[in-house]
């Protein structure tokens, strides 16, 4: 695991660091602490990370600027903040968890477990996926996404207007965030279930999900049973 | 409020109605002729006066002169309602009608030897048997010992009852005005005493009082006998009152409708008014008129500028000024001046009522504002950023180093204690504010593990300042700064004072946290500081906050 802590309170940063080391133990490859927004942005850009622990209020700056950049990255983001009222917005942007201050080791562990055990976020709804464009980050509304296709380390978002966007997060990570309305129906596909019109069974035990716009997406043989019991 | 102009107008109509009722004339008065000298025969109806002078006689003082006025009676009086004569003459005199002595006002020709006798306004009944239809002769034997250059030859002839009552009615109406303005004067004086900054109320109060005296002085002759010798005193008093009012009304408008170079223009106006007052000073009516005119023209200028600047109430005042001019044109001067002053004063009254309303609204807003600021100060303690971060650090200290954790709690307790003491104050001693800052730094030391230093220079601990403003600057300094290479941030508070202002300079020695320095203009912290300064010093303060090479510099200037 490569973890970045962005926190401007030295004592709290040390606490997070200590607890993180304790929880991850040997699996921790690197742990970095940064206390300014600017440095954090350039670190995120130039380093490969698995997790960012982010405080939303840094030296009076609004952490949401950093948040949109962070959530567009390939890594998961966990917010550790004093402002509980920002939790809903943070979840809408697609953070994995929101740990309110003051926190203890148990609460932090619970957040980390979402990564370790790949728990799905089903309580809160993600409203946007942040997509990296040439000099900026664009927020794509989850409402507009029909399905997502895995493409190696990246994913492709297929939108209702026919456009296609590239996202840095893996299909696994997005599956975790979008668990409430999307279903992994195939090794390479994550589909919004409300868009599925019908399931067609073809000869040779081939299952196809047909979407409202006519797109046909294969359903994994192993997944079919689960999907049927869960959704139909 | 909109009814005020209407009621003004109705009142004005009433006044005009009362003062202008005239009847069909029953007399015809011919030109008066006069001659210096003294012969009993000159009283006779048929004396040949063709060689007498038609102009006023030039007297040296004390000598007797006669004036003769032929009068045609067009209609004989009704029984029991005799005609009467009222001469408007300076001096002591005897009145003859068709050669018969019908009345005496003092002792003409003997003024030097006898005590002053008689009054300004004397009325003499013409015997009914001498008032048959046809030609008659009024002869008056006068001496003007005291003011020989003030020869008057005007007489008023009318029904005796009318002559007596008309002026009384007029006077009673005018005195109703006077009473109203006396009460207004006292009321606004009390208002001023309640708030000594409101000079407008004082000016208005003085205006009303001067107006009250002016009114009394103008009509006092109706019911108080004054010998002509003392009449000058009355005229001088009226002149002085007119001068006062003529200066104060434009002064009031100047405060209400400000314009550039006010002081110089007002001084200039005072000089013009003084010139008007002293030039041809003995021609009282001339002086009164000129002063009233200067006042009116100057006020009109100010008010027109006010209308141009769209100041509230200026339009209505312009209307009252125009109305007052109209009144002086259509009525006798002595009444016109009173009525038009009344109209202008009513306009000022209206402006003051606007002012009082404004003050009430401002007061209500300030109450809300004060409560809001108090809450904001309280919130500093419980806002999540401060409280939750502090608690998180605190938990960590207790878990890792309990003894230091206890010190941390103590520091926190001290800061809370000071907050409790200052929470409902609008001003606190600077010493207390500094103590608050020191406690805050102690807390932050535990949280941020940065070495914070506090330095003071030249502080006058007795001075008072609004609570939480230095604390807010300190918070901003902590939040927006990164420590220097030796892991320290230094804060320095310096104070200087002179006759014009007191100045606090708050310096932060640190590395600025932001790469690009953006204006912190909109931060809630700075808004709080500005609102507190306004609450305590109105507009007499100045606040700057800017980056400097060593970190940040804030200055708070409070003007004397």
Q: Which domains does chain A have, with CATH numbers?
A: 2-116 (3.40.50.2300), 136-231 (2.40.50.1020)
Q: Which of B388, B151, B535 is nearest to A86 (CA)?
A: B388
Q: Do residues A1 and A28 touch, judged by C-beta distance below 8 A?
A: yes
Confidence of residue B1 (pLDDT cuts 50, 70, 90): very low
Most B CBs within 10 A among A39, A102, A104, A106, hence the mutation to make, goes to A102
Q: Is the pLDDT of residue B413 over 90?
A: yes
User: In a 10 Å sphere around its CB, with 0-12 CB exposed, 13-18 middle and 19+ buried, how is residue B339 labelled?
Assistant: buried
Q: Is the pLDDT of residue B424 over 90?
A: no
Q: Cβ atoms within 10 A of the Cβ of A204, count?
A: 5
Q: First and final CA of chain B: distance in angstroms?
A: 39
Mean pLDDT across the stretch B37-62?
Answer: 87
State residue B417's pLDDT score: 92
Average pLDDT, chain B: 87
The Cα-based distances of B10 to A36, B3, B14, B55, B156 in angstroms read: 75, 11, 6, 43, 30
- Report chain B residues whose CB lies below 8 A from the CB of A84: 384
Q: First and final CA of chain A: distance in angstroms?
A: 38
With H, G, I as helix, E, B as strand and everything else as coil, classify residue B518: coil
Mean pLDDT across the stretch B208-227?
Answer: 89
Q: Is the pLDDT of residue B14 over 80?
A: no
The tally of CA atoms less than 13 A away on the side-chain side of residue B317 is 30
Residue A100 at interface with chain B, using a CB cutoff of 8 Å: yes
Confidence of residue B3 (pLDDT cuts 50, 70, 90): very low
Mean pLDDT across the stretch B546-554?
Answer: 90
Q: Cβ atoms within 10 A of the Cβ of B304, count?
A: 15
Q: What percent of chain A has pLDDT over 90?
A: 25
**CB under 8 Å, gap of 24 or more: what pairs does B436-441 form?**
B436/B468, B436/B470, B436/B471, B437/B470, B437/B471, B437/B474, B437/B491, B437/B493, B439/B411, B439/B414, B439/B415, B440/B415, B440/B471, B440/B474, B440/B475, B441/B474, B441/B491
Residue-wise pLDDT for A147-188, tens only, equals 999 988 889 999 988 888 889 888 888 888 887 788 888 889
**Region class of A51: left (phi > 0), else alpha (psi between -120 and 50), else beta:** beta
Residue A105 at interface with chain B, using a CB cutoff of 8 Å: no
Measured distance CA(B299)–CA(B253) in Å, rounded: 7
SS3 of B109-120: CCCCCCCCCCCC
Q: Do residues B467 and B528 touch, judged by C-beta distance below 8 A?
A: no
Measured distance CA(B187)–CA(B276) in Å, rounded: 32
Measured distance CA(A119)–CA(A73) in Å, rounded: 19
Which CATH number does B383-559 carry?
A: 3.30.565.10
Residue-wise pLDDT for B394-411, tens only, equals 999 999 999 999 999 999
User: What is the largest distance, in Å, between two alpha-carbon atoms of chain A?
Assistant: 63
What is the residue whose two structure tokens read 């696994």?
A172
State residue A85's pLDDT score: 85
CB contact under 8 A, A11 and B448: yes
Most A CBs within 10 A among B382, B385, B412, B475, hence the mutation to make, goes to B385
State residue B434's pLDDT score: 95
Number of residues that make up chain A: 232
Mean pLDDT across the stretch B20-28?
Answer: 66
State residue B554's pLDDT score: 94
Residue B384 φ then ψ, to 5°: -55, -35
Mean pLDDT across the stretch B148-163?
Answer: 83
Pairwise pLDDT comparison (A168 vs B333), residue with the higher score: A168
State residue B359's pLDDT score: 85
Confidence of residue A119 (pLDDT cuts 50, 70, 90): confident
Helices (H), A59-178: 64-71, 87-92, 105-116, 171-177
Most B CBs within 10 A among A14, A35, A82, hence the mutation to make, goes to A82
Which CATH number does B33-152 carry?
A: 2.60.120.260
Measured distance CA(A40)–CA(A18) in Å, rounded: 20
CB pairs under 8 A between A and B: 68
State residue B507's pLDDT score: 94
Q: Is the pTM of this model over 0.80?
A: no
Measured distance CA(B204)–CA(B476) in Å, rounded: 49
Element spanning A76, H or E: strand A76-81
Q: Do residues B555 and B503 touch, judged by C-beta distance below 8 A?
A: yes
- Report chain B residues whose CB lies below 8 A from the CB of A108: none
State residue B438's pLDDT score: 94
Q: Do residues A23 and A108 touch, judged by C-beta distance below 8 A?
A: yes
**Per-window interface: A 31-90 vs B, CB < 8 A:** 35-36, 38, 57, 59-61, 82-84
Beta bridge partners of B556: B504, B543
With H, G, I as helix, E, B as strand and everything else as coil, classify residue B87: strand
Q: Do residues B87 and B137 touch, judged by C-beta distance below 8 A?
A: no
Q: Is the pLDDT of residue B482 over 90?
A: no
Q: Is the pLDDT of residue B525 over 90?
A: no
Cis peptide before A102 (omega within 30 of 0): yes
Residue A204 at interface with chain B, using a CB cutoff of 8 Å: no
Q: Nearest residue on chain B to A56, judged by CA atoms?
A: B385
- CB-closest option in A10, A15, A57 to B448: A10
Measured distance CA(B437)–CA(B432) in Å, rounded: 9
> Please, which residues have CB within 8 angstroms of residue A6's CB and are 6 or more apart in sequence?
A34, A35, A37, A40, A52, A53, A54, A55, A58, A66
Q: Is the pLDDT of residue B513 over 70?
A: no
Q: Which of B523, B507, B512, B518 is nearest to B555 (CA)?
A: B507
Say which range, A71-80, B249-258, B414-423, B505-514, has the weakest mean pLDDT: B505-514
CB contact under 8 A, B385 and A83: yes
Q: Which of B182, B174, B237 is nearest to B205 (CA)?
A: B182
Q: Give the highest mean pLDDT range of B148-152, B218-222, B542-546.
A: B542-546
């Amino acid at each position: 695991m490569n973890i970045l802590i962005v926190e401007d309170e030295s004592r709290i940063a040390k606490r997070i660091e200590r607890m993180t080391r304790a929880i991850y133990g040997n699996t921790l490859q690197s742990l970095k602490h940064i206390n300014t927004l600017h440095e954090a942005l350039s670190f995120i850009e130039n380093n490969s990370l698995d997790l960012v622990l982010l405080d939303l209020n840094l030296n009076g700056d609004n952490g949401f600027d950093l948040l949109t950049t962070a959530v567009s990255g390939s890594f998961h983001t966990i917010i550790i903040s004093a402002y509980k009222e920002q939790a809903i917005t943070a979840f809408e942007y697609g953070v994995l968890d929101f740990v309110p201050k003051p926190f203890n080791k148990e609460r932090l562990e619970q957040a980390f477990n979402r990564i370790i055990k790949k728990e799905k976020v089903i309580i809160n709804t993600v409203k946007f996926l942040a997509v990296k464009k040439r000099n900026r980050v664009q927020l794509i509304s989850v409402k507009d996404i029909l399905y997502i296709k895995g493409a190696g380390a990246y994913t492709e978002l297929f939108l209702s207007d026919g456009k296609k966007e590239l996202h840095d997060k893996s299909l696994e990570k997005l599956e975790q965030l979008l668990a409430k309305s999307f279903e992994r129906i195939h090794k390479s596909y994550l589909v919004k279930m409300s868009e599925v019109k019908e399931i067609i069974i073809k000869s040779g035990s081939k299952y196809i999900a047909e979407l409202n716009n006519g797109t046909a997406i294969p359903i994994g043989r192993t997944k079919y049973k689960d999907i049927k019991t869960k959704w139909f | 409020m909109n009814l005020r102009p209407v009621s003004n107008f109705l009142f004005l109509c009433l006044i005009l109605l009362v003062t202008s009722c005239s009847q069909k004339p029953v007399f015809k008065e011919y030109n008066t002729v006069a001659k210096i000298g003294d012969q009993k025969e000159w009283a006779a109806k048929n004396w040949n006066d063709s060689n007498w002078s038609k102009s006023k006689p030039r007297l040296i003082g004390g000598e007797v002169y006669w004036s003769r006025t032929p009068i045609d009676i067009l209609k004989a009086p009704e029984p029991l309602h005799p005609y009467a004569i009222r001469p408007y003459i300076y001096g002591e005199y005897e009145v003859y009608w068709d050669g018969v002595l019908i009345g005496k006002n003092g002792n003409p020709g003997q003024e030097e030897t006898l005590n002053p006798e008689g009054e300004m306004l004397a009325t003499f009944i013409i015997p009914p048997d001498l008032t048959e239809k046809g030609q008659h002769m009024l002869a008056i034997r006068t001496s003007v010992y005291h003011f020989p250059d003030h020869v008057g030859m005007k007489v008023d002839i009318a029904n005796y009852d009318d002559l007596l009552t008309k002026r009384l009615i007029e006077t009673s109406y005018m005195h109703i005005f006077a009473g109203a303005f006396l009460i207004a004067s006292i009321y606004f004086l009390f208002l001023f005493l309640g708030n000594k900054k409101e000079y407008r109320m004082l000016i208005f109060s003085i205006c009303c009082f001067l107006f009250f005296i002016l009114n009394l002085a103008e009509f006092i002759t109706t019911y108080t006998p004054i010998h002509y010798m003392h009449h000058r005193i009355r005229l001088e008093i009226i002149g002085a009152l007119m001068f006062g009012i003529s200066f104060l009304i434009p002064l009031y408008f100047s405060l209400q409708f400000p314009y550039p170079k006010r002081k110089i223009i007002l001084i200039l106006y005072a000089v013009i008014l003084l010139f008007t007052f002293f030039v041809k000073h003995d021609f009282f009516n001339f002086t009164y008129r000129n002063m009233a005119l200067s006042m009116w023209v100057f006020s009109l200028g100010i008010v027109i500028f006010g209308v141009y600047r769209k100041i509230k109430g200026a339009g209505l005042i312009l209307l009252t000024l125009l109305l007052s001019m109209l009144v002086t044109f259509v009525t006798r001067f002595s009444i016109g001046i009173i009525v038009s002053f009344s109209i202008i004063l009513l306009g000022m009254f209206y402006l003051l009522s606007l002012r009082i309303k404004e003050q009430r609204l401002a007061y209500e807003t300030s109450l809300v504002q004060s409560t809001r600021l108090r809450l904001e100060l309280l919130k500093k303690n419980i806002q999540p950023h401060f409280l939750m971060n502090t608690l998180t650090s605190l938990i960590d200290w207790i878990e890792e180093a309990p003894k230091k954790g206890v010190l941390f709690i103590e520091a926190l307790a001290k800061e809370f204690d000071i907050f409790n003491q200052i929470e409902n104050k609008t001003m606190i001693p600077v010493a207390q504010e500094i103590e608050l800052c020191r406690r805050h730094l102690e807390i932050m030391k535990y949280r941020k593990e940065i070495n914070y230093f506090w330095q003071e220079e030249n502080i006058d601990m007795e001075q008072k300042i609004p609570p939480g403003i230095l604390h807010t600057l300190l918070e901003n300094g902590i939040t927006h700064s990164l420590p220097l290479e030796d892991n320290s941030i230094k804060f320095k508070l310096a104070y200087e004072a002179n006759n014009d202002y007191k100045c606090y300079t708050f310096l932060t020695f640190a590395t600025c946290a932001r790469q690009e320095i953006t204006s912190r203009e909109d931060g809630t912290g700075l808004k709080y500081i500005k609102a507190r300064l306004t609450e305590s010093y109105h507009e007499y303060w100045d606040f700057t906050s800017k980056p400097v090479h060593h970190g940040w510099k804030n200055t708070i200037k409070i003007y004397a």
